Amino acid sequence: MARLDGKIAIITGGNSGIGRATAKLFCKEGAKVIIAARRTEKNQETVREITAEGGTIVDIQADVSKMEDCKRIVEETIKKFERIDILVNNAGMADRHIPINLCAEEWYEKVVRVDQFSVFYMCKYVLEHMEKQGSGSIVNVSSIGSQGIAGIAYSAAKAAVNSMTRNIAIQYAGTGIRCNAVAPGPTPTELNSPEQFKLFNKEFAAVCGRHIDLTLPEAQPEDQAEAILFFASDASKAITGQILYVDNGVLVIC
């Protein structure tokens, strides 16, 4: 039997990288998937690919940094499928390893709105429906950057995601609603492409690099998707409030 047979899952940022790999895996495991992301063309490309493989998937064009868009994602999902079993908060901005003394207020706010506020908005509106059902699994995509080994804005936002994960887990413990997080290490996605790396503050990136082992192999988007699937499925039905680092041991030396 498929591990997510008949489940309804929302995946933010589901049109590329970890989100896309997760959408494909969830559909393979029997879920009906809603991907929510800004880029309409990438959304539709993902829907066509997964539909051709036999999956049930729809897209919603939305900017999850905006409260009203998050609310609309949830409302449209309920209207179409009548329930939400799984929420994967995957949408995020790339880190540029900008240290605090060089970080503009505008950049800090932009990163926090995408990487932190979106998680708050989506959890808040989805939980209203999970409470009525008495069941549900939320999986937040954090980062090893939550340990401070990234730009100030990204580190702060991802640390907040970890704390929100535990806070939600505490509130809903024993209710049938669980909340966990997956914290990827270096993973080849658009957010970590050579084009993005050109925008990094190389000096501070090197400082952060002294505290992790970047000689180890990268994890792949599919590795992250499998970890997300574990938390989304009944295989982890007794687990909540946990942060799972998927990084091939990059952070173990810390």
Active-site residue set: 154
Task: Give residue 140's identity as a one-letter amino acid code.
Answer: N
Task: Give residue 39's identity as a one-letter amino acid code.
Answer: R
What is the rounded distance in angstroms from the CA atom of residue 145 to the CA atom of residue 158? 7
User: How does DSSP classify residue 113?
Assistant: I
* Cα-based distances in Å from 184 to 92, 153, 187: 12, 17, 7
Sign of the torsion angle spanned by Cα atoms 114, 38, 122, 46: negative
Sign of the torsion angle spanned by Cα atoms 187, 193, 198, 199: negative
Strand residues in 38-135 grouped as ranges (E): 56-61, 86-89
User: How does DSSP classify residue 184?
Assistant: E
Task: Give residue 35's identity as a one-letter amino acid code.
Answer: I
Angular region, 58: left φ>0, alpha ψ -120 to 50, beta rest: beta
**Residue among 179, 55, 166 nearest 126 (CA):** 179
Evaluate whether 110 touches 156 at the Cβ level (below 8 Å): no
Evaluate whether 21 touches 221 at the Cβ level (below 8 Å): yes
